[in-house]
A and B are shown apart, each in its own frame.
Chain A
Amino acid sequence: MSDSTRFALATGLALLALLAVPWIVRNDYYLHLFIVSLIFVVVALGLNLIVGYVGQLSLAHAAFFALGAYVSALLFLKLKWSMWIGLPAAALLTGIAAFALGWVILRVRGHRFVIITVAFSEIMKLVATNWVDLTRGFMGLPGLQIPALSLPGLGAIDVSSKERFYYVVLAAAALSFYLCYRIVRSSVGRAFVLVRENEVLAESLGISAFRYCMIAFVVGAALAGAAGALYGHYVGFVSPDLFNFSYITIMLIMVILGGKGTLIGPVLGAVLFTFLPELLRDAAHYRMLIFAVILVLATLFMPRGIIFPLVEHLVPRRWRTRHVRAA
């Protein structure tokens, strides 16, 4: 089979399977897991742009996810804005927040960058916890709903059932994937990889590392914000727990074990690491422990991730990582 036939076949089959999920999976609980994993696909795709493509280890991603959830929740509860406006608003606002933060911290690299992304996350958490008048602090914001989707010519469509909301998140995941695919395949994506592999060389060619890191940072954060809005409305409740360190850990595991710097790796990572904890439900106490061990061992011994090397031969060559050899 030639490369492109295989590609077309794989894509077609994957799409068909994804569209058929609500018919095949009749169990409410498993459908719930599919919805959550698709939301995390959006998150992981965004984080992958930052960690995988421009190679900056940002630990602020969970904070952007939570920020998006809060923005959309507050717009819904205080101003009665529908989620369909709240979602783009959340993406826009987290994008702006990422721009402001990036403007300060993308001047530094390495350890200081990592630590300041954590400091930012902690400040956001403190705001969510202490600004009680707005966020109700620890009590969180309950009562979020999924409003009907009104499309011109089609009237209002109720999407609040799990079967229908699945298609909403599937569309979001597909759009995010397409967006990342276009970015990565463009000259911007090539600049990303060069900045990651050799920043000095990139700068000497007139490619501004600051600029391309900023693009990845802002787009990645906006995706996290949009995913956060979807998540908040789906779960119906937003609280400062969303800022917990365990979220960013799981997101990193999804991206890194899936295969950072590849497009399909983080997608599979998001699905696998949403389902895996549920399959390990009997060992619920040991869940984070197992995750931690996986993270340590995989980082040390399998730097390319554990999923991507397994599926690599299924993926067309043009989806694979372009490795620019460092000088």
Chain B
Amino acid sequence: MLDLAIFGQHLLNGVLIGCAYALIAIGLTMIFGVMNIANFAHGEFYMMGGFLAFYLISLLKVNYFLALPLAVLLVMVLALVIQQTVFKRLREAPMMTTTLVTIGLSILLEQVAHLLWGPQPQVIPNPFPTKPLSFFGIYTTPLYLFSMAVTAALILLGHVLIQRTRMGKAMRATFQNKEAAALVGVRIDRIYMYAFTFGAALAAAAGAVLGGFIPVEPTMGGVATLKAFVVVILGGMGSFVGAIVGGLLLGLAEGLGAGYFSTGWKDAIGFFAVILLLLFRPEGLFKRA
């Protein structure tokens, strides 16, 4: 007999990580859709967001609720610099070049974090009471609920920006047909810049919020990139809705897998799913947005 409370607990454990996957994947799929670049350095924005939040809160004693947006802002500046110096040169480059450059960039950022903050995992201090809350036998903490609310709100914000605003419309147009979009007055350079910076911001926010649960360390970006790629492939490359749904699905699957099967193997779920998907449904789980 399946214990509903335990099942709910495993599901809840998966929701937050799922939201984080979705946030990272939205940026990744956006950069892919708009610039046609598989950005292997994208997870490093997630890592940088976590480390900057940790640095501001633990070492500079900045208020938690002020530090989170500040960390995101700093990552946006970093992303802007990277966009202007490196990614601008990659616009018409072949795939092998863009991929190698972003791989190099990913190691570069990881090493910079390593030199600045050291290799040891760090946990961002918790500003909330640590007393667990219980609903119907499912346990959680105020920090967990806060983080879930923030990530969910950001996903919603991303969705609204892409689907409802002028900039989002221009972005989608660029994705569908670059030349035609430019022809009707979309400034492609700007779109590249917005998409890149905004995607980095979402990833950084995920890193800053999750740093309270998952220790922040320099190597976390590489793993995050791979998971986000899994999500992007599952959702269909360049699909926003696919990234959100795929991220949540992967998070839930990992939560259940870790709970019922094994924590060591949970990371393999997504990688196997990608290979199976390629065998049986190469166009992705969902149609493109």
List residues of chain A with CB under 8 Å of any chain B CB.
51, 55, 57, 104-105, 107-108, 110-112, 114-116, 118-120, 122-123, 126, 129-130, 245-246, 249, 252, 256, 285-286, 288-289, 291-296, 299-300, 303
Contacts A104-B278, A107-B282 given; does A119 touch B104 at CB 8 Å: no
Residues of B contacting A55 in the complex (Cβ-Cβ under 8 angstroms): 96
CA distance A123 to B275 in the complex (A): 11
Q: In the complex the two chains form, what is the Cα distance from A293 to B106 in whole Å? A: 10
- How many whole Å from B180's CB to the nearest CB in chain A? 22
Q: In the bound complex, do residue B96 and residue A57 qualify as a contact, i.e. CB atoms below 8 Å apart?
A: yes
B89 with A111: CB separation less than 8 A: no
- B274 A115 Cβ-Cβ under 8 A: yes
Given contacts A104-B279, A119-B274, A126-B267, contact A292 B233 (CB under 8 A): no
Binds A, one of B141-149, B151-159, B187-195, B222-230: B222-230
Q: Is the CB of B111 within 8 A of A130?
A: no
Interface size counted on chain B using CB atoms at 8 A = 38
Task: Select A122's contact among B100, B108, B271, beta carbons within 8 Å.
Answer: B271
Collect the chain A residues with CB atoms within 8 Å of residue B241's CB.
none
| Distance between Cα atoms of A296 and B272 in the complex (Å) | 31
Give Cα A119–Cα B228 distance, bound, in whole angstroms.
Answer: 11
Contacts of A291 in B (CB 8 A): 107
Among B104, B230, B271, the residue within 8 A (CB) of A299 is B104
> Closest residue of chain B to A127, judged by CB?
B268
Max chain B C-beta neighbours (<10 A), residue from A51, A115, A122? A115
For the complex, give the distance between the alpha carbons of A249 and B271 in Å: 20
- Within the assembled complex, what's the spacing in Å between the Cα atoms of A51 and B95? 12
Residues of the A chain whose Cβ atoms lie less than 8 Å from the Cβ of B104: 249, 292-296, 299
One digit per residue, 1 when the CB lies within 8 angstroms of any chain A CB and 0 when it does not, for chain B 102-123 equals 0111011011100100000000
Task: Specify which of A111, A285, A286 is in contact with B38 (CB 8 Å cutoff).
Answer: A111
Whether the Cβ atoms of B111 and A292 lie closer than 8 Å is yes
B275 surroundings in chain A (CB, below 8 A)? 104-105, 116, 119-120
- In the complex the two chains form, is B100's CB within 8 Å of A252's CB? yes
A126 to B, closest residue via Cβ: B268
Residues of A within 8 A of B95 (CB): 57, 110-111, 114
B14-37 interface bits toward A, Cβ cutoff 8 Å, 1 = contact, 0 = none = 000000000000000000100000
Q: Residues 226-256 of chain B: 1 if any A CB is under 8 Å from the residue's CB, otherwise 0? A: 1001100100010000000000000000000
